[in-house]
Amino acid sequence: MERTFALKGNIIFTPACGRLEVRPGQYLVCEDGLVAGIFETLPERFGDIPVHDHGDRLILPGLVDLHVHASQYAYRGLGMDMELLDWLEENAFPEEARFAEQEYAAAAYRVFTDELTRSATTRACVFATVHRPATLLLMELMEKAGLRGFVGKLNMDSNCPDYLWETTDSSLAETRRWLEESAGFSAVRPVITPRFIPSCSEELMNGLGELQRQFGAAMQSHLSENLSEIEWVKQLRPWARFYGEAYSRPGLFGGECPTVMAHCIWSGEEERALMKEQGVFLAHCPQSNMNVSSGIAPVRTWLNEGQKAGLGSDVAGGAHLSIFRAMTDAIQCSKLRWRLVDDSLAALTLPETLYLATKGGGEFFGKVGSFEPGYEFDAIVMDDSTLPTTRRCTLTERLERVVWLSDGLPLAKYVAGRRLF
């Protein structure tokens, strides 16, 4: 397979948060799946490599979705008049129960994988369900599609419907077996996934911590999303000073355990300080935060503090899989927070949200999300000729129009140096 080649076009990326790098009409070279550099003319040593000439189109790093529920894709756009806990009971849990049937899981996960493949997303952190066989099937479909990411089998032994309930022992045994059976995958890796603290006993969390240390797996969950949820956690873990401590005590909160926490809307100073110290990634899910009435995350505060952060679609709390849509939602939410909550926190800018959508979230996967030399070669080609205007736009303005106006579907997509289409 050809993994050394060049793309020619208008190259745009963010090597640092808020800093937009624009290289018009240049060559982006992929060498053995990694970025070799950007050049005005091809160096002699690359003189014979294939060139994919994309003309006047925009070439961006592939987008990263740090938080998405594959099993919820079928009911996007439904139940948006409920708050989180009611929404889980009415929508999420009944749908997820259907994944006990492998035939249904195969059909549903094919739809999700096909749509993710068509999108501008090249890497994702994905929640499946409690069902081990269906989770393995999702991993297989994503790997065959050429996508890269983390997929998690959920754990729930408390405060959940009988039809999804696992005993503590069975949850740990199934998770161990799934981790062992996942060893054959290379592009899609397992991530330990306790749904959230209310659905996981302390015994289960301690057991998951032991499995994490044994297998060296990453971890993902939800944190400080909803005020009712936070009060519930206080009752369930009265010893915890804050929600995040219920994850950190069993060793599932960064440090030696790579961790993504979704939402973090109501994380206080102590919680955020521990996240910064431990290198926990915060997944900002603006559309979901609005849809299930959770709140407006203080993303400007995160950036000021130097937190590791990216964006999540959070389907189906979020109705759209597009991370371009997550970028615009993040900007709009930040404006409302600035206007209505705290006028000391400036609204987010397009370069900042592009960073969050690429290099910010990409760091969870390693050197991902930028066109700097040595980064994995994830790229998308966007055609804005379908967005007619009489205005003569700069490349930065053209990027802005793509983010705000396009359907978010790339003309071409490359993952780790492999062209998907």
**198 lies in the same domain as 249:** yes
**314 lies in the same domain as 401:** no
**318 lies in the same domain as 379:** no
pLDDT tens-digit map of 173-229: 999 999 999 999 999 999 999 999 999 999 999 999 999 999 999 999 999 999 999
**141 lies in the same domain as 276:** yes
**93 lies in the same domain as 25:** no
Last residue in a domain, options 329, 344, 365: 365
Domain that holds residue 18: 5-61+371-419
What gap in Å lies between CA 412 and CA 421, rounded to an integer?
A: 5
Tokens of 65: 């979705």
Last residue in a domain, options 323, 347, 365: 365
Residue 1 pLDDT:
57
CA 218 to chain centre: 14
Q: Which residues of the chain have pLDDT under 50?
A: none
Average pLDDT, the chain: 97
**51 lies in the same domain as 114:** no
Residue 22 pLDDT:
98
Could you give the count of Cα atoms lying within 13 Å of 152 in the half-sphere of its Cβ?
28
- Residue 96's contacts (CB-CB under 8 Å, 6 or more residues apart) are 71, 72, 129, 130, 154, 164
> How would you label 25-61 residue by residue, b for 16+ Cβ within 10 Å and e otherwise?
ebbbbbbebbbbbbeeebeeebeebeebebeebbbbb
Last residue in a domain, options 347, 365, 383: 365
**358 lies in the same domain as 375:** no
**161 lies in the same domain as 43:** no
pLDDT tens-digit map of 368-388: 999 999 999 999 999 999 999
Cα distances from 277 to residues 13, 226, 230, 255, 270, in angstroms, run: 28, 24, 22, 8, 11
Strands 148-152 and 188-194, bridge-based pairing: parallel
Q: What is the CATH number for 234?
A: 3.20.20.140
Q: What is the CATH number for 379?
A: 2.30.40.10
**300 lies in the same domain as 190:** yes
Residue 37 pLDDT:
98
Strand-pair partners of 365 = none
pTM for the model stands at: 0.98
**210 lies in the same domain as 257:** yes
Domain count, the chain: 2
**9 lies in the same domain as 111:** no
**73 lies in the same domain as 146:** yes
pLDDT over 90 percentage in the chain: 97
